[in-house]
Amino acid sequence: MIRGRMRILGIETSCDETGVAVFEPGRGLLAEALHSQVDLHARYGGVVPEIASRDHIRRLLPLVDEVLRQAGGPRPDAIAYTAGPGLVGALMVGSGLANGLALAWDRPVVPVHHMEAHLLAPMLEPEAPDFPFLALLVSGGHTMLVAAEGIGRYRLLGTTLDDAVGEAFDKTAKLLGLGYPGGAALARLALEGDERAFDLPRPMLHHGGFDFSFSGLKTAVMLQVRALEHDGGLAGHRADIAASFQRAVVDTLVGKTLNAARSERISSIVVAGGVGANVMLRAELARGFEGKVFYPRPEFCTDNGAMIAVAGAFRISDAVPPGEIEARARWPLYSLKPPKRNRK
């Protein structure tokens, strides 16, 4: 539980979204703003770190200004920022501004773990999950099944051995000429296709424990696309490829998640991260699971400042005086500890 009436400013700059929000336990989300850099990176087919950092510098302060005005009332009591994992240059922009504001306002900072924030994003919803729950974290950089027993008490059950699931969506979308990042566009195209048109592999569905692998599926799609290109039949089958790919991914994710929930005897599942916005994934999990499935609202599945602010509120006892610009490219989720006040 979050105690006290601490007003938290949350700052997210780990990748290609500048997100800022103000959250107050008991009152909820008071303000929120986001700038997506998708258009800047699209022509390169992926995120260019240098461009990302420079754009965060341009956008961050005006967004902070905007949410403080939206929220009204007193200055925040603490500033939470994404300290990792992510692009170091991009992280340093958020970390630098958070520390600067904290120095000027005489406030503490809370360094937040980006994936923990994704995992806690459903806490922003009216119907929030209670621990323990099983978390399926599926984004452009991560695919993880985690048994969450409390804040900072995470057991990694499975992860991807190669590509992240969002990456697989993006690469397949690129093959189909859908631009970058193409996950959402691929899901839209899939609506018009026949998911049984192509028999694609469900990688490691029946072996490998709770680990995932998506590179074999990606190769299978690529070979199929090449064959269709060769026969001149690709144009008529793009939607069928999208639908068959999405079905293979969803079958794999849902199969592994349900097995994990059963073996851990957990009756709540949280789905978070960008791919959590996928409508078919949501529908199939709801259909296959007897327990309850919790999600953030779709706009809080992808990167945002609100989840950083709420994670900062849960970790307020870990607040530190400003001064150290934390920015970690790698930072395993399972290395986190419970917040200071909960440690024995």
- Note the residues at the interface with ligand KG4 (CB under 6 A): 15, 139-141, 166, 169-170, 181-184, 187, 273-275, 277-278, 302-303
Q: In angstroms, give the least distance from the CB of 339 to Zn ion.
A: 21
Q: Return the number of the residue (40 or 320) whose C-beta is nearest Zn ion.
A: 40
Angle of CA points 134, 137, 140, to nearest 5°: 170
Closest distance to ligand KG4 from the beta carbon of 276 (Å): 8
Cβ-based nearer residue to ligand KG4, 11 or 15: 15
User: Which is closer to ligand KG4, CB of 68 or CB of 178?
Assistant: 178
CB of residue 40 to Zn ion, shortest distance in Å? 18
Using rule CB under 5 A, residue 278 touches Zn ion: no
Judge residue 246's burial from the number of C-beta atoms within 10 Å of its C-beta, 0-12 exposed, 13-18 middle, 19 or more buried.
Answer: buried
CB of 169 to ligand KG4, least distance (A): 4
Q: Which is nearer to ligand KG4, 109 or 275 (CB)?
A: 275
Residue 24 vs 163, nearer CB to ligand KG4 = 163
# binding residues, Zn ion (CB under 5 A) = 2
CB of 115 to Zn ion, least distance (A): 7
- For the CA atoms of 156, 157, 161, 167, the dihedral, rounded to the nearest 10 degrees, stands at -70
Q: What x-and-dash track marks residues 281-320 binding Zn ion by CB under 5 A?
A: ----------------------x-----------------
Angle value at C-alpha 70, between 69 and 76, nearest 5 degrees: 65
Torsion angle, alpha carbons of 275, 280, 282, 287, to 10: -150
**DSSP notation for 22-66:** EEETTTEEEEEEEEE-HHHHHTTTS--HHHHHHHHHHHHHHHHHH
Nearer to Zn ion by Cβ, of 32 and 303: the residue is 303
| Residue 19 interaction partner, one of Zn ion, ligand KG4, none, beta carbon < 5-8 Å per kind | none
- Distance, in Å, from the CA atom of 313 to the CA atom of 8, rounded to the nearest integer, reads 7
Cβ nearer to ligand KG4, comparing 107 with 245:
245
Nearest position to ligand KG4, beta carbon: 274
Task: Compute the least distance from the CB of residue 183 to ligand KG4, in Å.
Answer: 2
Which uninterrupted H or E stretch holds 333? Answer: none
- Report the distance separating Cα 94 and Cα 244, nearest Å: 39
- Taking each helix axis from N to C terminus, what angle separates 49-71 and 88-105, rounded to the nearest 10 degrees? 30
Q: Is 182 exposed, middle or buried (0-12, 13-18, 19+ CB in 10 A)?
A: buried
The residues facing 282 across adjacent strands are: none
Report the residue number, 99 or 139, with the smaller CB distance to Zn ion: 139
**Which one of ligand KG4, Zn ion, none interacts with residue 158, CB within 5 to 8 A by kind?**
none
- Helix (H, G, I), strand (E, B), or coil: what is residue 293? strand
Residues numbered 124 to 143 that lie near Zn ion (CB under 5 A) are: 139
Cβ 275 to Zn ion shortest distance, Å: 10
In whole angstroms, what is the distance from residue 205 CA to residue 213 CA?
9
The amino acid occupying position 157 is L
Chain positions contacting Zn ion, by CB under 5 A: 139, 303
